Amino acid sequence: MKRWAVPFLVLLLLSGCAERPVLVAGSSCMGRMMAALAEGYAERYGKAVEVQLGGTELGLLALGEGGCDLASCSRDPEGYGGIDAFAVAVDAIAVVVHPSNPVASVSLSELRGIYAGEITDWEELGASPAPIVVVGREAGSGTRLAFEQAIGLKTSARHAQEQNETGLLRTAVSLCPGAIGYLSFDYAGEGTGVRSVPVEGMLPSEGTVRSRRYPLTRRLFLCARRGETRSETLDFLSFCRGGEGQALIRSLGIIGIDGEGSG
């Protein structure tokens, strides 16, 4: 049985029912946003939406096999045939370290060196000597692929630890003084146990992300099968991209699609 088949088996069985919720599967870093959208939609319209996590690649596979109605994708799904992708938010990937780590900034080339296994000690970045503990996401994570592409990494990242969920990665970094990791910037605010490090001198913020001055910026997508006609699916998609859904997204500290390109 395929890796994704077990978590989405129930979805496949439900897909044959006449009346069922809209099924959204995919990105774990979009889980908080999708759960809020599902709750807001249910409260406003009385219609259920079920959200399943598991990663961008698993969501896209499930969508292709009919195991869900929409796939939540934390990277551009270019290259997947038979789907239409709709941006729902703009995001930044924050580079995070333990709060005790004094490193002032990192460059894209330094991040490439760290994740390629070429830079192995914090002393090389101007901090006190200590091994760098490289933490990353699992294979199939949209955040991992988006991060590796953004820093220009040409080889597979060399991780000391791999985590399969955004919260677990944040916890791993918060518990290890020598760790470095990456996650959606709305997970890296005050009181989260990690500190965001400027990349090329820029911290992720609404202004630097909207203007694309922060170099690790991406869009978040909902994907549907090409030619989707199920009204429940299309209605929820319209809600997410419309005024009500975008206001809800902004209330979470996430940047809506209406902010793209502005200064």
* pLDDT tens for each residue of 97-111: 999 999 999 999 999
Statement to judge: residues 179 and 117 lie in one domain:
yes
Q: What's the rounded Cα separation, in Å, for the pair 72 and 76?
A: 11
* pLDDT tier for residue 6 given thresholds of 50, 70 and 90: very low
Statement to judge: residues 114 and 206 lie in one domain:
yes
For the record, the structure tokens of 144 come out as 């991992």
Statement to judge: residues 197 and 116 lie in one domain:
yes
* pLDDT tens for each residue of 59-95: 999 999 999 999 999 988 887 889 999 999 999 999 9
Q: What's the rounded Cα separation, in Å, for the pair 146 and 225?
A: 22
Residue 261: what pLDDT?
Answer: 38
Statement to judge: residues 32 and 82 lie in one domain:
yes
* pLDDT tens for each residue of 135-154: 999 988 999 999 999 999 99
Q: Are 146 and 90 in contact (CB under 8 A)?
A: no
pLDDT mean over 222-234:
96
Q: What's the rounded Cα separation, in Å, for the pair 129 and 132?
A: 9
Statement to judge: residues 187 and 124 lie in one domain:
yes
Statement to judge: residues 159 and 77 lie in one domain:
no
* Residue 3 belongs to a domain: no
* Residue 243 belongs to a domain: yes
Tell me the helix, strand and coil percentages in the chain, rounded to 5.
35, 25, 40
CATH code of the domain in which 179 resides:
3.40.190.10
* pLDDT tens for each residue of 243-260: 999 999 999 989 999 744
Q: What is the DSSP string of 2-52?
A: -TTTTTTHHHHHHTTSSS--EEEEE-STTHHHHHHHHHHHHHHH---EEEE
Per the structure, the count of domains in the chain is 2
User: What is the identity of the amino acid at 128?
Assistant: S
Positive or negative, the CA dihedral 23, 182, 262, 190 is: positive
> Model pTM greater than 0.85?
no
Q: Are 42 and 247 in contact (CB under 8 A)?
A: no
Residue 190: what pLDDT?
Answer: 83
Residue 262: what pLDDT?
Answer: 34
Domain endpoint, select from 173, 191, 210: 210
- Side-chain-side CA neighbours of 69 within 13 Å: the count stands at 22
* pLDDT tens for each residue of 122-135: 999 999 999 999 99
Domain endpoint, select from 210, 229, 245: 210
* pLDDT tier for residue 10 given thresholds of 50, 70 and 90: very low
DSSP H helices, the chain, are 9-14, 31-45, 56-64, 108-115, 142-151, 166-174, 206-210, 231-241, 243-251
pLDDT mean over 166-191:
93
- Structural domain for 229, as ranges: 9-88+220-259
* Residue 132 belongs to a domain: yes
Q: Are 258 and 116 in contact (CB under 8 A)?
A: no
* Residue 215 belongs to a domain: no
Statement to judge: residues 71 and 112 lie in one domain:
no
Q: Are 112 and 155 in contact (CB under 8 A)?
A: no
* Residue 230 belongs to a domain: yes
User: What is the identity of the amino acid at 200?
Assistant: E
* Residue 252 belongs to a domain: yes
Statement to judge: residues 204 and 95 lie in one domain:
yes
Residue 170: what pLDDT?
Answer: 96
* Residue 146 belongs to a domain: yes
Statement to judge: residues 165 and 231 lie in one domain:
no
* pLDDT tier for residue 1 given thresholds of 50, 70 and 90: very low
Statement to judge: residues 177 and 104 lie in one domain:
yes
Statement to judge: residues 192 and 112 lie in one domain:
yes
* Residue 41 belongs to a domain: yes
Residue 186: what pLDDT?
Answer: 87
* pLDDT tens for each residue of 12-43: 444 444 478 999 999 999 999 999 999 999 99
Statement to judge: residues 102 and 135 lie in one domain:
yes
